[in-house]
Amino acid sequence: MTQNQLDKKSEAWSALFSEPMSDLVKRYTSSVSFDQRLWQADIEGSLAHAGMLAAQKIISTQDHAAIEGGMKQIRDEIESGAFEWKLDLEDVHLNIEARLTQLVGDAGKRLHTGRSRNDQVATDVRLWLRSEIDLIDGLLASLQKALVDIAEQNVEVILPGFTHLQVAQPVSFGHHMLAYVEMFARDAERMADVRKRVNRLPLGAAALAGTSYPLDREMVAKTLSMDGVCQNSLDAVSDRDFAIEFTAAASLAMIHISRFSEELILWMSQNFGFIQIADRFTTGSSIMPQKKNPDVPELARGKTGRVVGHLMGLLTLMKGQPLAYNKDNQEDKEPLFDTVDTLKDTLRIFAEMVGGITVRPEAMEKAALRGYATATDLADYMVKKGLPFRDAHEAVAHAVKAAIAHQVDLSELPLKVLQEFNPKIEKDVYEVLSLRGSLNARNILGGTAPAQVRAQIARHRARLG
């Protein structure tokens, strides 16, 4: 047999075709350059399948042992870098199968009994994504812990809370950090929920209709620690909604990162001066020596668009596909892989960067005083004196006008001036008008009072371990 004939026999469908695939088509259809990362999942899934085939007496115990030995050698070769990935073999699955057959002969050829690449690749992607979700869960926890740490260090620090980017009310800086902890906690919940639907076994669906071999799919699912099997063979091989759902959850996590990034960028600017990011997370300018640029938050903000774009791409990929499997689905891997890589890298660097943030309390408090942040507190004070809220709201608006005219804070207006807006105002109003008094007054579940912030910190620490 010639080398050309040997090469043709390595192609799983070559007997039907009268001419070899063109090099251009090989390059166009090949996925081995990027789906190599599925190799561990492919070996894991294949070993579980082989064990089941042996248990069901579909292959012999000798073939099973040979497959296990061959897969061990392949694992060693890939880990050492000695494995030769071949473009002609198109993808990770055929590369591993061809090497297995080279090592153990006919036993390797029997491994594919009762399965197709369609259910094989769907299984591999699910196994790989499951492990990546577990890693992401740990990274989300690390970021939350870093935010809880900085929150605990700054419970008493007063930050101007904004709506419409206008000074609204004073809040604890720690309270502000915990808002992001809540967001990332929900991201972790979403990932855990997605994992349940990822962790289902397509193997055994074969090409699209199931198989005539007496497979024990539940055994394979148990071996692979999966939560169950896909119940419809057509659906099992053709849908990628689990990848879309993951990318949607990843997009939300990146959007939370992007919102946080925007605030860090604003706060670090000279116009705010609320924080400083450690030098190792910033860069300079090639022309302006005074610059220290927040490149990490800026780049994360940009990478958010990249991940959201992958979500749109995957949705579009699936929207027009008839049942069952179509080659379109080869295009699910690169956006999915890049989404995982981008999210993991971003979470990892942000957990480190948060630990290097220096807070500037004086700048924050000064900014809070500029915006009449205690105006609502004055209105609430008047309501407690018997004035209807809408009337109190109107009276405080006139008081703010007076403060602006005198270029002072509300707390600096003389008592006589304040009493012009409501004669029931007394000296105790100045405690209400202080930033600290405003902060302490919001002692309600979920509020910004330091006592509540500390309670939330304790809750998060118990939850995160």
Q: What is the CATH number of domain 368-464?
A: 1.10.40.30
Of these residues, 60, 285, 398, 406, which one is catalytic? Answer: 285
Structure-block tokens of residue 299: 């780049």
Q: Does domain 118-154+168-365 have CATH number 1.20.200.10?
A: yes
In this prediction, the residues of the chain whose per-residue pLDDT falls under 50 are 1-10
- How many residues in the chain? 465
Contact between 368 and 160 under an 8 Å Cβ cutoff? The reply is yes
In the block, tokens 């699955």 appear at 93
Exposure string of 409-447, with b = 16+ CB inside 10 Å and e = fewer, is bbbebeeeebeebbeebeeebbebbbbebbbbbbeeeeb
Nearest to 144 by CA among 306, 260, 275, 293: 260
The angle at the Cα of 387, spanning 384 to 388, to the nearest 5 degrees, equals: 105
pLDDT value of position 21: 75
25-113 sits in which CATH class? Answer: mainly alpha
CA 379 to CA 447: how far, in whole Å?
18
Residue 269 catalytic?
no
CA 400 to CA 384: how far, in whole Å?
19
CA distances from 116 to 37, 94, 129, 209 (A): 20, 11, 20, 11
- Give residue-wise pLDDT tens across range 378-420: 999 999 999 999 999 999 999 999 999 999 989 999 999 999 9
The CA-based diameter of the chain, rounded to the nearest angstrom, is: 107
Of these residues, 18, 80, 164, 286, which one is catalytic? Answer: 164
Contact between 9 and 88 under an 8 Å Cβ cutoff? The reply is no
The model carries a pTM of 0.92
- Give residue-wise pLDDT tens across range 32-47: 888 999 999 999 999 9
- Extents of the domains making up the chain: 25-113, 118-154+168-365, 368-464
Residue 64 catalytic?
no
pLDDT value of position 6: 39
CA 104 to CA 267: how far, in whole Å?
63
pLDDT value of position 256: 98
